[in-house]
């Protein structure tokens, strides 16, 4: 009989594999997705290893649940192993796989039942413990090969290194009103027909938590989204569905206000510390603080459980369309749906470009974690708060003691704090994405996560604006490779913004470099072995932005420069999502440019003269003109 070692910070647990039920240990949420019968027997004897290891600087209370002889037990743990339960991951990973069932079928619609299969690798039992237990689970630089769980398969949006890039377009933020009805229905219908005729692949739409679960916990109303997705299906387009767990109205380009569900904001009023907090004590209600990810602060459920229940309900509601009409699920991971802290909020006039922003770590849950990790390092005074000299939202790096050229961001304390702050964010992304994997695996959809394109102050040593947002990226440290490698662990597509921007268009005082930032993220994605998708950060309808997107969509970038000997070696963006469908897009001159842009993207004709296909593009423009005119006239009526 084989065995499984479960270890957490030097507290190994030995379990016999014969009594281990099928269980996904990727997250607390994927546990609910597992079946407890017919688990394939592990081959051979010996020991097997399940690593639940402690990331550096993370400490706090936790629980690790496993099954032994079909009974839940609590594994022993030490108080210094922070959020390790959220990182529980098998070396080979966990997979949901279809199997034939004699029952009526999966959720009553077929003859296939999904199960979760825990797969762990054989371990040489003669090896010393330190060979397996001495590394941090987030030490991606050295452990990528060991932790990688996913091998890419060809998808509908992958056309090879020499192929084109499918173009999606974002629907208006308020396509569904707060009373859960479709807005501007006739304009939307005309727009969809025009987009299909122009060669667009599909649309991206926000699925707002504040609308769907507005009436109370687990009370989901999908009616308006059903109607829109059916309209999209009839038009022959595809859907990228964004699980939007954030508030709308606090970011650049937000044209409407959609708050979090009322029962969530009520909990924030009762317990203000579940909202992000800056050093002045100002609360940000845009997204629930990741400091309480694993605590039952939302009517008896943890935020991660709430997000997972929402995604599970979406899956069950739209299961017949997943993988066919709905081809991608983008998991909301923070403000604006991006995996970051709300360090530069535009609402209430707190921040304006190009301010450095502020650290968001002053709610009691984040502070408790910081204090615990400071104690674990033997430096209790480090846990009293964030950097005292990090400045204010609208300051420049050189105006602060922490971010200036020779600032304390390079000190031992600065490195401790930035490591903790960034790894807390990485841990949050891991929890949400692993939950999504457990829910949507086997449905045929691509799962993606979005990273913010924080390009201002990129040319400085400290990269201050990135640091306050949670990306520990400096001139001497690659902060995006750990993110890409975490995404790779679950086969997540990395969606990145500011693809349309040029360095020369940015103000000199902001020391921006969006082009080098895109290059860095592209190289990190390539090293991690994941696909990268893109968006434009700001609405742009001009030919210059289109040209830049087409050029950068090829991802032909190297660490030594953009001139490479083998340009066909790397795949381009897996998809590009255009921001955004609106009345301006349908103006005659903008629409003509957009149709030509879509054609160049979809055919991969990046390096051909832009005018080469002008005639073909004009034919498409002419064919779509009636629908474009109708869409434009109805867009705001």
Residue 545 is predicted with a pLDDT of 96
Bridge partners, 330 (sequence order): 242, 448
- Cβ contact 209:245 at 8 Å: yes
pLDDT (average), residues 89-110: 35
Residue 556 is predicted with a pLDDT of 82
Residue 31 is predicted with a pLDDT of 40
Which domains occur in the chain, in start order? 3-143 (no CATH), 167-634 (3.20.20.80)
Strands annotated E in 219-337: 238-244, 275-277, 283-288, 326-331
Residue 79 is predicted with a pLDDT of 33
| pLDDT range class, residue 606, cuts 50, 70, 90 | low
Residue 28 is predicted with a pLDDT of 40
Give the Cα separation of 488 and 93 in Å (integer). Answer: 12
| pLDDT range class, residue 288, cuts 50, 70, 90 | very high
- Cβ contact 47:5 at 8 Å: yes
- Model confidence over 54-63: pLDDT tens digits? 333 343 333 3
Question: How does DSSP classify residue 236?
Answer: T
Question: Which residue, 407, 519, 514, 536, is CA-closest to 457?
Answer: 514
Residue 248 is predicted with a pLDDT of 92
Residue 235 is predicted with a pLDDT of 97
With a pLDDT cut of 70, the percent of the chain lying above it is: 67
Q: What angle do CA 476, 481, 482 make, to 5 degrees?
A: 105
Residue 628 is predicted with a pLDDT of 65
Instruction: Compute and round to an integer the Cα radius of gyration of the chain.
Output: 24
Give the Cα separation of 449 and 329 in Å (integer). Answer: 9
With a pLDDT cut of 90, the percent of the chain lying above it is: 64
Residue 136 is predicted with a pLDDT of 35
Q: How far is CA 453 from the centre of its chain?
A: 13
pLDDT (average), residues 305-333: 98
Quickly list DSSP for 458-476.
TTSSS-HHHHHHT---BTT
Tally of CB atoms within 10 A around 617 = 23
Residue 349 is predicted with a pLDDT of 83
Give the Cα separation of 18 and 500 in Å (integer). Answer: 55
- Model confidence over 523-541: pLDDT tens digits? 999 999 999 999 999 999 9
Say if residue 515's pLDDT is above 60: yes
Say if residue 615's pLDDT is above 90: no
Say if residue 323's pLDDT is above 60: yes
- Cβ contact 190:585 at 8 Å: no
Cα-based distances in Å from 310 to 33, 220, 440: 14, 8, 12
Residue 611 is predicted with a pLDDT of 52
Q: Which of 144-153, 401-410, 588-597 has the highest mean pLDDT?
A: 401-410
Cα-based distances in Å from 282 to 272, 285, 496: 10, 10, 29
Mean pLDDT rounded to a whole number for the chain: 78
Catalytic positions are 338, 535
Say if residue 143's pLDDT is above 50: no
- Phi, psi torsion values for 546, nearest 5 degrees: -60, -45
Give the Cα separation of 204 and 536 in Å (integer). Answer: 13
Question: Which residue, 422, 420, 402, 400, is CA-closest to 410?
Answer: 402
- Cβ contact 356:396 at 8 Å: yes
For strands 65-68 and 71-74, give the pairing: antiparallel
Strands annotated E in 362-477: 446-451
Say if residue 114's pLDDT is above 60: no
- Phi, psi torsion values for 121, nearest 5 degrees: -95, 155
| pLDDT range class, residue 269, cuts 50, 70, 90 | very high
């Amino acid at each position: 009989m084989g065995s499984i070692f479960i270890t957490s910070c030097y507290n190994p647990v030995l379990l016999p594999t014969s009594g281990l039920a099928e269980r996904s240990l990727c997250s607390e949420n994927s546990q609910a997705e597992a079946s407890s019968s017919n688990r394939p027997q592990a081959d051979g004897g010996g020991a097997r290893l399940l690593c639940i290891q402690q990331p550096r600087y993370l400490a706090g209370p936790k629980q690790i649940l496993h099954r032994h002889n079909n009974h839940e037990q609590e594994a022993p743990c030490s108080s210094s192993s922070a959020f390790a339960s959220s990182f529980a991951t098998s070396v080979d990973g966990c997979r949901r796989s279809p199997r034939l069932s004699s029952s009526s079928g999966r959720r009553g619609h077929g003859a296939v039942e999904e199960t979760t299969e825990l797969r762990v690798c054989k371990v040489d039992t003669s090896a010393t413990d330190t060979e397996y237990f001495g590394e941090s689970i987030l030490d991606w630089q050295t452990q990528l090969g060991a932790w990688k769980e996913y091998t890419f398969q060809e998808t509908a949006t992958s056309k090879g290194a020499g192929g084109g890039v499918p173009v999606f377009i974002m629907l208006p933020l308020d396509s569904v009103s707060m009373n859960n009805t479709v807005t501007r229905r006739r304009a939307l219908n005309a727009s969809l027909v025009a987009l299909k005729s122009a060669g667009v692949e599909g649309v991206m739409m926000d699925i707002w938590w504040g609308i769907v679960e507005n009436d109370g916990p687990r009370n989901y109303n999908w009616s308006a989204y059903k109607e829109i997705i059916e309209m999209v299906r009839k038009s022959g387009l595809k859907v990228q569905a964004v699980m939007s767990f954030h508030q709308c109205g606090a970011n650049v380009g937000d044209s409407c206000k959609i708050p979090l569900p009322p029962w969530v904001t009520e909990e924030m009023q009762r317990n203000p510390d579940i909202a992000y907090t800056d050093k002045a004590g100002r609360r940000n209600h845009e997204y629930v603080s990741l400091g309480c990810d694993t605590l039952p602060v939302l009517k008896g459920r943890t935020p991660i459980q709430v997000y997972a229940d929402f995604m599970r309900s979406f899956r069950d509601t739209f299961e017949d369309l997943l993988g066919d009409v709905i081809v991608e699920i983008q998991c909301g991971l923070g403000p604006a749906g991006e995996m970051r802290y709300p360090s530069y909020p535009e609402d209430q006039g707190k921040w304006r470009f190009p301010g450095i922003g502020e650290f968001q770590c002053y709610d009691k849950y984040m502070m408790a974690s910081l204090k615990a990790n400071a104690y674990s390092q033997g430096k209790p005074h480090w846990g009293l708060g964030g950097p005292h000299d990090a400045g204010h939202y609208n300051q420049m790096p050189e105006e602060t003691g922490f971010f200036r050229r020779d600032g304390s961001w390079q000190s031992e304390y600065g490195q401790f704090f930035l490591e903790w702050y960034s790894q807390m964010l990485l841990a949050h992304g891991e929890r949400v994405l692993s939950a999504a994997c457990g829910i949507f695996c086997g449905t045929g959809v691509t799962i993606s996560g979005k990273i913010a394109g924080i390009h201002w102050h990129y040319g400085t040593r400290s990269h201050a604006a990135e640091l306050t947002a949670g990306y520990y990226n400096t001139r001497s440290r690659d902060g995006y490779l750990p993110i890409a490698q975490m995404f790779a662990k679950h086969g997540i597509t990395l969606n990145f913004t500011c693809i349309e921007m040029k360095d020369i268009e940015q103000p000199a005082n902001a020391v921006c470099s969006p082009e080098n930032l895109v290059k860095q993220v592209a190289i990190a994605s390539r090293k991690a072995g994941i696909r990268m998708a893109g968006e434009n950060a700001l609405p742009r309808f001009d030919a210059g932005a289109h040209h830049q997107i087409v050029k950068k969509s090829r991802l032909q970038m190297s660490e030594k420069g953009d001139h490479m000997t083998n340009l066909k070696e790397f795949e381009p963006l897996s998809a590009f999502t255009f921001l955004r469908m609106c009345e301006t897009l349908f103006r005659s001159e903008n629409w003509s440019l957009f149709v030509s842009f879509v054609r160049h993207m979809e055919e991969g004709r990046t390096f051909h003269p832009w005018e080469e296909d002008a005639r073909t593009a004009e034919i498409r423009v002419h064919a779509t003109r009636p629908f474009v005119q109708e869409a434009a006239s109805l867009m705001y009526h």
